[in-house]
């Protein structure tokens, strides 16, 4: 057995600022003096989803992402200000296109591309002599349309994000001159009209602006862009301090949930410019504090909309999930850290699938971790929208999510593979797909990635196309929840490493080579709010399986058209007030207390619902009489351990992956 190079990258790369090897780059890394990155995004379209992940994107195509202009024509139709109309002129149009562009180019769907192109063309044509672009005539906000603050920097930041992706897919050079002109305008104008001039959103989210400035700098090398990066960093909220001061995240109502999701990447974006590792450390500190104070096992946090508490009946906004994912994808690229990829999979494979319907025709503004009823009524959220925020509808809650939810899956797919800085390829989180990219001296390779991850152990890879045998490194993350992982090539183990490391296997690959990455999965129990227990297995969190009765409800129109014409409620006749047994939760062998069963699922079945859940866990539990519903939610979580509560007899309950549930209990009290 031949053992090949193995090295732990996550730490080694974190502080590496070296220059490239001198060879011509296959993909564009940061240009000096920006910090060198271990990984680089491949062009949009290089990664194609397969199996259920392709099905997921197709559901977006037939659902809201592909048809938002028809579903909410008053917002996304011809009247939109970003198409030159007198309708909505702020963030919503750009939000939609930021998800539509990657979906269109990943699926190579001409109709979707054409839909996005209208917006791109109008935007490019709207640029004025001084570099400013977009809607510029303020109008009063009527019929729920946001038409004032047209000069706000914030919606333009979203436009920059989709123009960057559009260029990454097409190489349309107009984007480069357009952005250069706009960034010169920003450099001249920001000293007088800073990011916060029109709203605080651009201050909170300024890192997204810096991100695109650096992207352009890497292409053009225009030195003024570095000055603009510095200026934007000065005007952006102090995320490095906020995440590392052990105070801000512990202060209720201090931050907005989506701002935090976006702000998490701010220190790492700025780190590229200042090279100070403390900026990366701040993110890790912030993550630890967030999970202590507000964290949920699905990677999200109780924040509805301002930071609230870690209670599993607080809310988590859909925008928070997709923005946090995008932040993590950017941070993984820049730092190579495997713990950030663990976090990303938590959000993508638990929180993300539950917040939209299977048909992608409706979404939930807030999801709850313990969510035992989805209905229109007021709950204990800090910000409410007449009780609609928990229901599934196109417009219930606040409509930002209707526009912003689309980026989640497509961007996740795009970054399933990165180019590595040593002319190889890197899979730093996993899902079924095929990548086609250049390696070594420019040879093109296609690798198929398959298996039933995250439901089953292991990930398979196959070199599907490679003209002649070629040596290049393959980087594969071993998740932190995994004790040791190993890689077999054509049946022979060639590398192994510990959880949290990245395997780097450099060898001559040839067409037809088959690899198997073994990542043994074990059931474990984690403890959360009120010391409640959650059952996890690898990237998946498990939750109580409940029968779900979905009903479509016509809106009463009490608030006009604000919340749309209809929404879904979901009710269950099943009991949910269960307590897990302490001996099971704290036992040394959770695998024997929580018994996993793989379920037969029809080939090609959509996995993210109760009917098709590919796994279940049988557990022992007792019902707790005093834990009852409160205002449509599970009542306040009883503290663990409960030792004098009135409990029913021990019975068997079934848990399924959180992402398959709509109604559920995820954090369980524990009893003697």
**Interface with Zn ion (CB under 5 A):** 317, 319, 400-401
Give min distance, CB of 317 to Zn ion, in A.
5
Q: How far is the CB of 210 from Zn ion (least distance, A)?
A: 22
- What span, in angstroms and rounded, lies between the C-alpha atoms of 120 and 637? 49
Helix (H) or strand (E) holding 425: strand 424-427
Least spacing, CB of residue 255 vs Zn ion, in Å: 15
Question: Whole-angstrom Cα distance, residue 27 to residue 29?
Answer: 6
Nearer to Zn ion, 401 or 660 (CB): 401
Q: Which residues contact 204 (CB under 8 A, 6 or more apart)?
A: 236, 237, 256, 259, 262, 263
Length of the chain: 672
Cβ nearer to Zn ion, comparing 94 with 479: 94
Q: Cα 658 from chain centroid?
A: 16
Least separation in angstroms between CB 69 and Zn ion: 19
CA of residue 305 relative to chain centroid, distance? 18
- Placement of tokens 């220059």 in the chain: 19
Q: Which is nearer to Zn ion, 367 or 434 (CB)?
A: 367
User: Shortest distance, CB of residue 256 to Zn ion, whole angstroms?
Assistant: 10
| Smaller CB separation from Zn ion, 361 or 493 | 361
| 126 vs 357 by CB, closer to Zn ion | 357
Peptide bond into 33 cis (omega under 30): yes
The separation between CA 231 and the C-alpha centre of its own chain, rounded to angstroms, equals 28
Comparison of 401 and 615: residue with beta carbon closer to Zn ion: 401
Both tokens assigned to 295: 């964290």
- Of all residues in the shown chain, the one whose CB is closest to Zn ion is 319
Residues 6+ apart with CB under 8 A from 191: 231
Output the smallest distance, CB 398 to Zn ion, in A. Answer: 6
Q: How many whole angstroms separate alpha carbon 416 and alpha carbon 348?
A: 12
**Given the complex with Zn ion, which of 48 and 265 has the nearer CB atom?**
265
* For Zn ion, the closer CB: 331 or 400: 400
Which candidate, 403, 382, 266, 240, places its Cα nearest to that of 324? Answer: 266
Distance between start and end Cα atoms, the chain? 50
- Please state, in angstroms and as integers, the Cα–Cα distance from residue 345 to each residue in 199, 235, 353, 606, following that order: 32, 32, 12, 18
What CA–CA distance (Å, rounded) separates 594 from 309?
Answer: 29
Three-class HEC string of 581-632: EHHHHCCCCHHHHCEEEECCCCCCCCCCCCCCCCEEEEEEEEEECCCCEECC
CB of 205 to Zn ion, least distance (A): 13
Closest approach of Cβ 402 to Zn ion, in Å? 8
Count the neighbouring beta carbons within 10 Å of the beta carbon of residue 492.
9
Distance CA 474, CA 466 (A): 14
Nearer to Zn ion, 401 or 494 (CB): 401
Judged by beta carbon, residue 109 or residue 317, the one nearer Zn ion is 317
Cα gap 602→568, rounded to integer Å: 27
State in angstroms the smallest separation of the CB of 638 from Zn ion.
Answer: 31
388 close to 376: Cβ distance less than 8 angstroms: yes
Q: How far is the CB of 200 from Zn ion (least distance, A)?
A: 16
Cα separation of 450 and 438, whole Å? Answer: 20
Q: Which is nearer to Zn ion, 98 or 317 (CB)?
A: 317
Q: How far apart are CA 569 and CA 564, in angstroms?
A: 14
Transcribe 219-254 into DSSP letters: HH--THHHHHHHHHHHHS--HHHHHHSSSGGGSTTS
Give min distance, CB of 161 to Zn ion, in A: 16
Determine contact, residues 234/247, Cβ cutoff 8 Å: no
The token duo for 661 is 């549930």
Identity of the residue, 154 or 528, whose beta carbon is nearer to Zn ion in the bound complex: 154
402 three-class SS: helix
Three-point CA angle 285, 409, 543, nearest 5°: 70
Q: Which residue, 331 or 403, has its beta carbon nearer to Zn ion?
A: 403
The CB-of-318 to Zn ion minimum distance in angstroms stands at 6
What is the smallest separation between the CB atom of 397 and Zn ion, expressed in angstroms? 8
- Residue nearer to Zn ion on the CB measure, 317 or 536: 317
Per the DSSP assignment, residues forming a β-bridge with 533 are 527, 668
Q: In angstroms, what is the minimal distance from the CB of 344 to Zn ion?
A: 19
Nearest approach, Cβ of residue 387 and Zn ion (Å): 17
CB nearer to Zn ion: give 324 or 517: 324
Q: Give 3-state DSSP helix, strand, coil % of the chain, rounded to 5.
A: 35, 20, 45
Widest Cα–Cα separation across the chain: 76
Give me the residues paired with residue 93 across strands.
Answer: none
Q: Hey, how many other C-beta atoms are within 10 angstroms of the C-beta on 510?
A: 13
Cα separation, 208 vs 189, in Å, equals 18
Provide, rounded to whole angstroms, the least separation between the CB of residue 396 and Zn ion.
11
- Of residues 322 and 570, the one with the C-beta less far from Zn ion: 322
Between residues 126 and 303, which has the closer beta carbon with respect to Zn ion? 303
Nearest approach in angstroms of CB 314 to Zn ion is: 16
Which of 189, 276, 182, 188 has the alpha carbon at shortest distance from 220? Answer: 182
d(CA 248, CA 234): 19
């Amino acid at each position: 057995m031949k053992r090949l190079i193995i090295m732990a990258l996550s730490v080694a790369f974190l502080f590496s600022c070296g220059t490239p090897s001198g060879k011509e780059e296959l993909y564009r890394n940061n240009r000096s003096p920006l910090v060198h990155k271990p990984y680089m995004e491949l062009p949009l379209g290089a990664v194609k989803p397969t199996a259920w992940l392709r099905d997921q994107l197709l559901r977006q195509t037939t659902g809201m992402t592909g048809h938002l202009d028809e579903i909410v024509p008053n917002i996304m139709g011809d009247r939109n200000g970003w198409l030159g109309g007198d309708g909505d002129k702020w963030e919503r149009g750009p939000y939609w296109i930021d998800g539509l562009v990657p979906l269109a180019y990943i699926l190579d769907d001409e109709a979707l591309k054409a839909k996005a192109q209208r917006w791109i063309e109008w935007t490019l044509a709207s640029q004025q002599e001084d570099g400013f672009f977009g809607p510029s005539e303020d109008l009063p906000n009527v019929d729920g349309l946001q038409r004032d603050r047209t000069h706000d920097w914030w919606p333009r930041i979203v436009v920059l994000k989709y123009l960057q992706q559009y260029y990454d897919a097409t190489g349309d050079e107009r984007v480069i001159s357009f952005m250069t002109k706009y960034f010169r305008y920003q450099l001249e104008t920001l000293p007088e009209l800073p990011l916060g001039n029109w709203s605080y959103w651009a201050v909170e989210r300024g890192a997204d602006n810096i991100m695109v400035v650096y992207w352009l700098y890497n292409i053009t090398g225009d030195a003024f862009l570095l000055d603009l990066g510095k200026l934007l960093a000065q005007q952006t909220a102090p995320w490095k301090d906020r995440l590392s001061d052990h105070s801000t995240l512990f202060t209720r109502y201090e931050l907005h949930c989506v701002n935090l999701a976006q702000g998490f990447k701010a220190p790492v974006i700025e780190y590229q410019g200042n090279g100070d590792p403390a900026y990366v450390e701040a993110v890790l500190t912030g993550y630890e504090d967030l999970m202590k104070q507000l964290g949920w096992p699905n990677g999200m946090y109780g924040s509805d909309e301002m930071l609230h508490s870690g209670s599993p009946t607080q809310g988590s906004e859909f925008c928070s999930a997709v923005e946090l994912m995008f932040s993590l994808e950017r941070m993984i690229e820049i730092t190579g850290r495997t713990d950030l990829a663990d976090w990303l999979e938590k959000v993508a494979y638990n929180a993300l699938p539950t917040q939209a319907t299977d048909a992608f025709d409706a979404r939930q503004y807030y999801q709850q971790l313990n969510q035992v009823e989805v209905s229109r009524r007021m709950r204990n959220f800090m910000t409410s929208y007449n009780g609609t925020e928990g229901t599934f509808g196109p417009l219930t809650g606040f409509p930002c999510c209707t526009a912003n939810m689309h980026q989640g899956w497509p961007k996740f797919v795009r970054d399933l593979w990165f180019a590595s800085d040593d002319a190889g390829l890197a899979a730093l989180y996993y899902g079924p797909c095929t990548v086609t990219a250049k390696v070594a001296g420019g040879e093109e390779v296609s690798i198929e990635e398959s298996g039933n991850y995250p439901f089953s152990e292991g990930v398979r890879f196959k070199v599907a196309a490679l003209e002649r045998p070629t040596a290049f490194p393959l980087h594969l993350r071993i998740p932190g929840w995994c004790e040791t992982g190993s890689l077999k090539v054509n049946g022979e183990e060639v590398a192994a490493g510990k959880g949290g490391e990245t395997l780097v296997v450099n060898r001559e690959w040839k067409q037809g080579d088959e690899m198997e990455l073994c990542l043994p999965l074990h059931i474990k129990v984690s403890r959360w709010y009120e010391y409640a227990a959650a059952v996890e297995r690898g990237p998946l969190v498990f939750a109580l399986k409940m029968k779900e009765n979905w009903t479509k409800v016509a809106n009463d129109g009490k608030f006009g058209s604000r919340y749309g014409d209809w929404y879904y409620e979901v009710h269950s006749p099943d009991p949910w007030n269960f307590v897990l047994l302490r001996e099971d939760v704290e036992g040394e062998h959770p695998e024997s207390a929580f018994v996993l069963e793989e379920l037969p699922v029809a080939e090609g079945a959509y996995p993210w619902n109760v009917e098709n859940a590919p796994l279940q866990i049988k557990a022992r539990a007792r019902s707790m009489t005093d834990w009852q519903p409160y205002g449509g939610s599970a009542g306040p979580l009883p503290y663990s351990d409960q030792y004098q509560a009135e409990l029913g007899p021990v019975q068997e309950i079934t848990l399924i992956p959180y992402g398959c549930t709509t109604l559920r209990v995820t954090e369980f009290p524990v009893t003697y």
